[in-house]
Amino acid sequence: MKQGELRRALMVATLLCLFLFFYLYWQQSSRPLQTLVLTYKHVYSSNEKNRPPQWTWLCVNQRCERHHVTENVKIVSLNTCSMLCGSTQLWPQPTGPVTLGSKAIAFNPQSFQFETNVNGAVRTLLSEAFSAFNESVQSLMRNDDFVNQKTDFLKFIVRATIKDSDVVRLKLSTDESYSLILKYRNGQSIANITARTFFGVRHGLETLSQLIWWDNYHGKNGALKVLKGATVEDAPIFSYRGLMVDTARNFMSVESLKRVLVGMAASKLNVFHWHLSDSQSFPMILPNVPQLAKTGSYSPQETYSSEEVKALVEFARIRGIRVVLEVDVPAHAGNGWAWGPQEGLGELAVCINERPWSLYCGEPPCGQLNPENPNVYDILQKIYRDLIELSGEKEIFHLGGDEVSLECWAQHLQKSSTPNNYTDLHDLWGEFTVKALMRLQQANGGERIPHVILWSSKLTKRPYLSKFLDKNQVTVQSWGASQWADTPDLIADGYKVLVSHVDAWYLDCGFGRWRETGDAACDPYRPWQTIYNHRPWQQLRLDKKKIVGGEACLWTEQVSEWNLDSRLWPRAAALAERLWTDPQLDTTTYIILEDVYTRLTTHRERLISRGLKPEAMWPSYCTQNPGMCL
């Protein structure tokens, strides 16, 4: 042997030793520090390598019971037990018949194969919905290695059959029903989703994604699982299932609004009502009236560009949601409207930042459009054209119209040189609204928007209501307390109503006063049970046909984008089931069944896996021990 060879061999041997040394060292330090032993006597032994699961769940009387893991017991994760034990884990609960298999199989998301019978625009839309579905499923995985793991079967076919292939925009009359049949045969799963429209199929996909879960006890690393068989027939009770978010009191990033839409899609809510401006700020850059955001946004960063808005509208449409943009007028408009005099257009808004604010508006800072200035209506028309263009929404339009301060106008009219002959300023308000409605029609190419929503106000009460507002066009968003006469009166007078009763469906309530004077907004907090148990058509015996649906509202004086999720969820999901399923309410006890708690808990976990941060509903103990906390 040559000297050089020996040196090389020694070198290699040394390297090997080093490698072995590091390997063993690493092995040792990665060993868990603590070991788990079953009994007290074994306290000091530390032989176990990985900490094994400590709980298993048994399905007893259609309820998952938590048991401590003992030797020779088959371990079942809570997710798997819940899925196979009695109740569906679907949210909202389908309204038609549901049969669910009692067996589960593991599958790999790479095995998805999407098929459809349609072409053209709806096919493009569908492929986006498939990818959103795929994302929802992937989000369940707690272990990335799972993608490469072998599973029970090779193919998972998701087949969507759509009858009306020309429906690509959601309308109030759109058929959102679907049927889902899931079967397992010859090593492949087939999910057949049949619906009249794309929007039905989208909901079917959502339901399918809710029949899939992560089983963290499967094998070494856990696995995705799906029911072996299932059939679901489903259709919503109400066609307007809304959620309103205010981005004017505090700015919400586009990312945070996307999370709102993701949560809505998971809960089958279908209208995102975007209260985009208020007297505090005007964050949306409108192409034809850029002055509003330029002078009214909090900062150049805190704005929404046309591209962002359009992308968000598309993001929503893929998820079965329409976007209704609201620029609230004539009240709730101040900052952003002060540029009139500079551009020779006169005062567009009056009382801007006026004090003492309690005399001229409901909350600081004040501001209200100037009904006397004709330029205001020209600008409104431009705004409306932009809003229709940005949202693509020609069926529903929200005009705002709440909390007009007649004192503000009275004070302004006193100062103004033009004589006025209003004995009742409500007429001025009514005329303003009529003019705005005309401008809306002009902005829509002369075509009348069939459903214009107005917040309930003095103007939507008798006698002004019928004087100014056409019941064939106007839907009133009734936000007064449910015990008030508003809602029954409106229905008696033949108006359609969108229910947003403050005492049940206002999500911002309960956080005390943010300003020093005036009432605490609307304390107390509405827990999800209150939202779920609000069923005014039953409690007030209203004609359900006159109710287009409901909407929960989140005003954001005391919300930032950091707690937007937890203010909304899971409470907005409680509303979703009220509007989709509309379960009967026991008005003597108001007891909510255990099944609702269990399903909502599962749904909350689902929202978490999709990247949301919903509020905790109770201690985890209650999740792990169904029925023990009720």
- Which residues are known catalytic residues? 403
Contact, 334 vs 369, CB < 8 A? no
| Residue among 82 and 373 whose Cβ is closer to another protein | 82
- Shortest distance, position 166 Cβ to another protein, whole Å: 41
Task: Identify the DSSP state of 449.
Answer: P
| Residue among 321 and 568 whose Cβ is closer to another protein | 568
How far apart, in whole angstroms, are the C-alpha atoms of residue 412 and residue 99?
65
| Residue among 559 and 579 whose Cβ is closer to another protein | 559
| Residue among 188 and 353 whose Cβ is closer to another protein | 353
Angle (nearest 5°) at CA 607 between 605 and 609: 70
Angle (nearest 5°) at CA 374 between 370 and 377: 80
- Shortest distance, position 563 Cβ to another protein, whole Å: 3
- Shortest distance, position 329 Cβ to another protein, whole Å: 18
Contact, 250 vs 559, CB < 8 A? yes
Beta bridge partners of 214: 224
Task: Identify the DSSP state of 284.
Answer: B
Q: What φ, ψ does residue 36 adopt, rounded to 5°?
A: -110, 130
Binding site for another protein (CB under 8 A): 32-41, 43, 51-55, 68, 249-251, 280-281, 298-299, 302, 335, 355-358, 364-365, 510-517, 523-525, 527, 556-560, 562-563, 565-566, 608, 613-622, 624-625, 628-629
| Residue among 1 and 43 whose Cβ is closer to another protein | 43
- Shortest distance, position 280 Cβ to another protein, whole Å: 4
Angle (deg, nearest 10), helices 374-391 and 425-443: 50
Both tokens of 65, joined, read 């019971």
Angle (nearest 5°) at CA 388 between 310 and 500: 95
- Shortest distance, position 414 Cβ to another protein, whole Å: 21
| Residue among 1 and 33 whose Cβ is closer to another protein | 33
- Which of 56, 78, 81 lies closest to 68, judged by CA? 56
Tell me whether the omega of the peptide bond preceding residue 236 falls within 30 degrees of 0, making it cis: no
Both tokens of 33, joined, read 């520090």
The torsion of the CA quartet 9, 10, 16, 19, rounded to 10 degrees, works out to -140
| Residue among 344 and 356 whose Cβ is closer to another protein | 356
- Shortest distance, position 40 Cβ to another protein, whole Å: 3
- Shortest distance, position 147 Cβ to another protein, whole Å: 21
| Residue among 249 and 534 whose Cβ is closer to another protein | 249
How far apart, in whole angstroms, are the C-alpha atoms of residue 36 and residue 71?
13
Three-class DSSP category at 468: helix
Query: What Cα–Cα distance (Å) separates residue 130 from each residue in 122, 201, 628?
Result: 12, 10, 39
Long-range contact list for 341-350, CB < 8 A, 24+ apart? 343/291, 345/373, 345/375, 345/379, 346/370, 346/373, 346/375, 347/373, 348/373, 348/375, 348/376, 348/379, 350/408, 350/409, 350/411, 350/412
Structure-token match 């300023």, residue found: 425
- Shortest distance, position 510 Cβ to another protein, whole Å: 6
How far apart, in whole angstroms, are the C-alpha atoms of residue 25 and residue 23?
5
| Residue among 249 and 603 whose Cβ is closer to another protein | 249
How far apart, in whole angstroms, are the C-alpha atoms of residue 257 and residue 248?
13
Angle (nearest 5°) at CA 336 between 333 and 338: 95
Task: Identify the DSSP state of 94.
Answer: P
* Segment holding 497, helix H or strand E: strand 496-499
Tell me whether the omega of the peptide bond preceding residue 365 falls within 30 degrees of 0, making it cis: yes
| Residue among 69 and 235 whose Cβ is closer to another protein | 69
How far apart, in whole angstroms, are the C-alpha atoms of residue 577 and residue 91?
7
